[in-house]
Amino acid sequence: MNKPTFEAIHRSDYQLPDYLVESIDLLFRLGEQHTRVIARSRMHRNTDVTNNKKDLVLYGEKLELVRVSVDGEEIDSGRMVLTDTQLQIIDVPDTFELEVITDINPEANTSLSGLYLSSSIFCTQCEAEGFRRITYYPDRPDVLARFTTRIEADRKKYPVLLSNGNLEEEGQLDDGFHFAQWRDPFPKPSYLFALVGGDLVAEQDVFTTRSGRQVDLFIYTEPRNQGTCGHAMKSLKKSMQWDEEVFGLEYDLDRFMIVAVDDFNMGAMENKGLNIFNSKYVLASPETATDQDYLNIEGVIAHEYFHNWTGNRVTCRDWFQLSLKEGLTVFRDQEFSADMNSRAVQRIKDVRVLRQYQFREDEGPMAHPVRPDTYMEINNFYTVTVYNKGAEVVRMIHTLIGDEYFRKGMDLYFERHDGQAVTCDDFVAAMADSSGRDLTQFKRWYSQAGTPVVQMSQSWSESGEFTLTLRQHTPETPGQVEKRPFHIPVLVGFLDPQGSDMVEALDTEFEKRENSLLLELTENEQSFKFSGLHSRPVVSLLRSFSAPVKIKYERNLQNTTLQMASDSDLFNRWDASFSLSQSIITDLVDQDVTEDKLVIDAAYVEAAKSLLRSDAGDDALTALALQLPEEAYLALSLDNVDPDRLHHVRT
């Protein structure tokens, strides 16, 4: 048996599409083993392309081609070339209507890409390249079209028929079938197409937008799961309100629909107006769901809803730009979760994902930039680097330019690019133009792989001058040996011996952010000088984890316990507790004493008591700060691991 071969795709090879699609009308006649698809597309030659090819190339896989016609004239085999992955039609006019009729077998589609059958429910997954398993089409994200979809199916087996957009018409047919016709007025790429057909029940609600429009909300499940969508519906309405209040983004269709499917393999998918979810991110009941289940549902519902603007209304030019939609939307869902719950706890959870998974990815053979330059298979790049590090890149822009200019940048981004397929560079340009900041060097975060290591040293003079020196270095990664310095925002605070912030009293050139200073590390080594301090400060470095970097500096017990007990930056308070408990446990593991002689340092105990007495008013943070590192994490810092001893010391 021959194994499939993959050809490398390079970002530098991008070319504009030769033909564009104005609109497409789809007709589905659903059958488990045999579904007929008729696609009628109004197409025209792309006038932005020089030396435009006369031939039309369409993508298609696992399809049975029935007929192709251009302007009503059937294309014979002499005018087309058909392969396993493409259909080439020779010499098409500048403007034309293309009709493609295909047959597919949803029941046999075990790839769960395209149209498939899941527990007697017809369902689609078209991101990244699943639409080509439905019909022959220019299946690429920079081809946007308005979709109208008519679905016909057995009305007893499949009483609910859904697709993108607004419901235009539905009715009965003579042969035991019925139909529903949907129209999406907003141009979208084919990866956002969706279809669902099945025996489903809906929980319904209504959301009124800030402009007074009424949006009907539906969450569809199988009948046996009825009554378990209440939390998901509340999360959806909170997401819609938050997006209006924070980013001024209002929902644009007459209805918003969610479908929960047990066998959905992508977790969740943001198809325009018809989000499809794996059931675990929708269904919850107090009898079986944990607190974390409820938080996960809230966050994932928000993420997919937020894609309506960051991903759907403005989408990606090509799949190398995946972080344009995913990194930005992860940032937005993290901010939503922070506003809905504890901001400090949310930030800690986000950073733990980075440190545990993304940093390791940067250290391994699969290290890649946030915006890769090449891939063999795009589905392999739905990674923590593209998503979570991509979100950190957006967060750093937010840190550098501040709330006001970030919101202006978002407004400018949508003003310029609504209805377009664009690049990460376009997003950064909107932020730079709105704020007046030069972000040229900053864009290295999109092109360079690896986690920078920032080393800190300090000096203090009796005259009250304090010097903070930062050095950055990024280890080599596959294909990138030489690394240029990143533009790293470093939020820093100074604590006096009692743990109080000293920044407010400083007369300094650096921008103040509440109790912190914003330093910008742009060279391999920089020194920052501060004067007017009445005592040597304890440095609270990288507050709120202002950049996805590793910090190297000498921690001493006195300063770390002071931060743990008193740091006004709650992330750094947790980080001090985490690092100190890690150090204590690993030291005790290495000590050659019996377990009954193990002694925990009194300074740590006192700092823990201070945490419990803290006036931060965040019980979830206190619980998290006192939570010990997991044994698997602790084992990474030990040269020789004795699992039994590690377990007993930790407990």
Across the range 7-18, mean pLDDT stands at 96
Across the range 152-178, mean pLDDT stands at 98
Q: Around Cβ 137, how many Cβ atoms within 10 Å?
A: 23
| pLDDT score of 270 more than 50 | yes
Question: Is residue 465 flagged as an active site residue?
Answer: no
| pLDDT score of 427 more than 80 | yes
For 407, the token pair is: 């919101």
| pLDDT score of 2 more than 70 | no
pTM exceeds cut of 0.85: yes
Lookup result for tokens 């689609």: 124
With 0-12 / 13-18 / 19 or more C-beta atoms within 10 angstroms meaning exposed / middle / buried, residue 234 is middle
Out of 298, 304, 335, 361, pick the active-site residue. 304
Residue 316 near residue 191, CB atoms below 8 Å: no
> Which run of H or of E encompasses 393?
helix 390-417
Q: State the pLDDT at residue 8.
A: 95
Q: State the pLDDT at residue 1.
A: 39
Q: Where are the beta strands (DSSP E) in 352-504?
A: 374-375, 420-422, 453-460, 466-473, 488-495
Q: Kindly list the structural domains of the chain, giving each domain's residue range(s) and its CATH number in brackets, ordered by start.
A: 14-199 (2.60.40.1730), 204-312 (3.30.2010.30), 315-446 (1.10.390.10), 452-554 (2.60.40.1840), 557-650 (no CATH)
| pLDDT score of 127 more than 90 | yes
Q: CA–CA separation, 92 vs 6, rounded Å? A: 29
Q: CA–CA separation, 273 vs 161, rounded Å? A: 14
User: What mean pLDDT is reported for the chain?
Assistant: 96
The alpha carbon of 24 is separated from its chain's Cα centroid by a whole number of angstroms, namely 29
Q: State the pLDDT at residue 4.
A: 53
User: Side chain identity at 151, as an amino acid letter?
Assistant: I
How many Cα atoms occupy the beta-carbon half-sphere of 251 within 13 Å?
31
Residue 596: pLDDT band (50, 70, 90) is confident
Residue 101 near residue 38, CB atoms below 8 Å: yes
End-to-end CA distance of the chain: 54
Instruction: Give 153-164 pLDDT, tens digit per residue.
Output: 999 999 999 999
Between 632 and 132, name the one with better pLDDT.
132
3-state per-residue secondary structure call for 48-62:
CCCCCCCCEEEECCC
Range with the poorest average pLDDT among 226-240, 370-384, 491-505, 623-637: 623-637
| pLDDT score of 466 more than 60 | yes
Q: CA–CA separation, 154 vs 472, rounded Å? A: 64
Q: State the pLDDT at residue 294.
A: 98
Q: CA–CA separation, 323 vs 305, rounded Å? A: 17
Across the range 609-621, mean pLDDT stands at 84
At residue 587, what are phi and psi to the nearest 5 degrees? -65, -40
Residue 5: pLDDT band (50, 70, 90) is low
Q: CA–CA separation, 39 vs 27, rounded Å? A: 7
What is the C-alpha radius of gyration for the chain, rounded to an integer number of angstroms? 28
